């Protein structure tokens, strides 16, 4: 905690992250995005602002200890409080925790981690008692048939965001009587208070569903890339398994499992993209339980391992180098088998085959090799069970 703060702080930021995250599948405030919890990203512009003297983090009761650990590392005085049953109740808990000298409060949702420094400073520069960012509405609006149906004119309708900056006394009065609202600006309007609007930012996204994590990263999620390579000797009388399909051939690959060189290269590419150990670590070649194992089954296990650490496969590109036989007649079956195992669409797998033009051990028919590149997308992990 910093020691160069004002003796009588005047402006605090209240970061609200006490929701249960029903639509997200878990609490959002401590979901890790780009290496840190969303609440840390949401707080950063306020920590950097010279106008802000300190913060209040409002979190779920079960997250208080974790939030206090974050607070101890923050460069400004930071108070942690447990929130209420609703967003409005959580804001009231945060207001009650403010130092007595605070005159101005910036209320911001922890679920908006991409708020810019410029927007924060723009709001803090407004001289009025209530400043709110807003954006125009571009989509057409229709009322639910159960409510009478019909189109709703969008002229004069705005989308509003957080942070919202208030005179403390005004916000406290707006919350008297424990009212409920989607945002604090609505409560000020009910009170008859004057609201000053500033231009919001399209990039100030709010995380509500798992799909919104992809929106934070431009629709792709946090993309990770891995590369894999595998090679096997060939011998007469063995089956030739490639991408889970047995290819008619007088010779096949030698290996502890079914020696599927494409699957093995792809597994290493996926594990590498996730920062996990290689396939030899998970499926040791000397372990009898993997003798003759179907490599598609092993690949399926690899996909599950990367899901457990928060990733899913985006796409895969594989190159097979084999002198004979030709695999073109089987390519569609091979791609389909890989796509189904990876959990991607058919066009999410590219499979190419070439020869070594008679050069080297592959050209002489002694071996087969494959290269693979895979992308992983940072994705919302499975929601923990209530009993976990």
Q: What is the pLDDT of residues 84-94, one digit of tens each?
A: 999 999 999 99
Token pair belonging to 80: 């942690």
Rounded to whole angstroms, how far apart are CA atoms 245 and 51?
A: 64
Domain range for 342: 223-378
Angle between helices 117-124 and 38-48 (to 10 degrees): 50
pLDDT at 350 > cutoff 90: yes
- The pLDDT, as a whole number, for residue 7 is 57
Give me the number of domains the chain comprises.
2
To the nearest whole percent, how much of the chain has pLDDT over 70?
Answer: 93
Contact 96, 175 (CB under 8 A): no
CA distances from 176 to 59, 125, 169, 366 (A): 21, 27, 11, 82
Does the pLDDT of residue 276 top 70, yes or no?
yes
Phi, then psi, of 103 in degrees rounded to 5: -110, -20
Q: What is the mean pLDDT of residues 47-70?
A: 96
Residue 387 lies in a domain: no
Higher confidence at residue 183 or residue 377? 183
79 and 197 co-located in one domain? yes
Q: How many other C-beta atoms lie within 10 A of the C-beta of residue 202?
A: 8
| pLDDT number for residue 118 | 94
pLDDT of residue 158: 95
Of 215, 247, 271, the one marking the end of a domain is: 215
CA distances from 88 to 68, 106, 184, 247, 269 (A): 22, 14, 8, 64, 47
- Residue 203 sits in the same domain as residue 274: no
Does residue 273 share a domain with residue 174? no
Q: Where does a domain end: 194, 215, 236? A: 215
Q: Does 87 reside within a domain?
A: yes
Q: What are phi and psi of 247, to 5 degrees?
A: -100, 125
- CATH number of 121's domain: 3.90.550.10
Q: In angstroms, how far is CA 23 from the centroid of its own chain?
A: 14
Are residues 200 and 256 part of one domain? no
Give the residue carrying structure tokens 């009478």: 148
Last residue in a domain, options 158, 185, 215: 215
Do 280 and 330 lie in a common domain? Answer: yes
Whether 151 and 182 share a structural domain? yes
Nearest to 317 by CA among 258, 356, 262: 262
pLDDT at 312: 86
Residue 382: pLDDT band (50, 70, 90) is: very low
Is-contact 73 57, C-beta < 8 A? no
Residue 235 and residue 146 share a domain: no
Question: CB of 89 within 8 A of CB of 178?
Answer: yes
Which range is least confidently modeled, 33-42, 338-347, 373-382?
373-382
Mean predicted lDDT score pLDDT of the chain? 90
**How far apart (Å, rounded) are the C-alpha atoms in residues 123 and 104?**
12
User: At 214, is the secondary structure helix, strand, or coil?
Assistant: helix
What stretches of the chain show up as alpha helix (H) in DSSP?
38-48, 64-73, 87-96, 117-124, 168-174, 184-191, 211-216, 261-274, 279-282, 295-308, 331-342, 360-363
């Amino acid at each position: 905690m910093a020691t160069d703060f004002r003796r009588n702080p005047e402006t605090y930021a209240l970061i609200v992250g006490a929701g249960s995250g029903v639509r997200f599948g878990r609490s959002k405030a401590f979901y890790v995005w780009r290496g840190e919890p969303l609440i840390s990203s949401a707080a950063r512009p306020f920590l950097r602002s010279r106008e802000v003297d300190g913060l209040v983090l409002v979190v779920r009761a079960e997250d208080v200890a974790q939030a206090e650990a974050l607070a101890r590392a923050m460069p400004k005085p930071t108070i942690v409080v447990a929130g209420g049953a609703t967003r409005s109740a959580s804001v009231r808990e945060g207001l009650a925790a403010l130092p007595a000298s605070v005159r101005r409060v910036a209320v911001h949702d922890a679920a908006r981690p991409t708020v810019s420094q410029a927007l924060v400073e723009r709001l803090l520069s407004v001289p009025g008692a209530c400043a709110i960012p807003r954006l125009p509405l571009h989509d057409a609006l229709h009322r639910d048939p159960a409510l009478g149906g019909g189109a709703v004119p969008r002229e004069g309708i705005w989308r509003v965001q957080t942070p919202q900056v208030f005179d403390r006394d005004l916000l406290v009065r707006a919350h008297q009587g424990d009212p409920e609202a989607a945002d604090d600006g609505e409560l000020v309007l009910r009170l008859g208070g004057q609201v000053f609007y500033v231009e919001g930012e399209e990039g100030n996204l709010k995380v509500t569903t798992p799909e919104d994590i992809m929106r934070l990263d431009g629709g792709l999620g946090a993309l990770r890339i891995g590369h894999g390579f595998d090679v096997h000797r060939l011998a007469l009388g063995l089956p030739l398994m490639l991408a889970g399909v047995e290819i008619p051939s007088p010779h096949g690959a030698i290996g502890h499992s079914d020696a599927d060189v494409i699957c093995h290269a792809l597994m290493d590419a996926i594990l590498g993209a996730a920062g996990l150990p290689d396939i030899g670590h998970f499926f040791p070649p000397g372990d009898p339980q993997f003798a003759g194992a179907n490599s598609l089954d092993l690949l399926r296990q690899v996909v599950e391992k990367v899901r457990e650490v928060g990733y899913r496969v985006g796409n895969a590109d594989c190159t097979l180098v084999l002198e004979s036989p030709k695999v073109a007649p089987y390519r569609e079956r091979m791609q389909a088998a890989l796509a189904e195992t990876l959990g991607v669409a058919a066009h999410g797998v590219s499979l190419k085959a070439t020869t070594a033009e008679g050069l080297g051990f592959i050209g002489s028919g002694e071996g087969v090799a494959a290269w693979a590149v895979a992308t992983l997308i940072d994705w919302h992990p499975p929601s923990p069970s209530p009993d976990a």
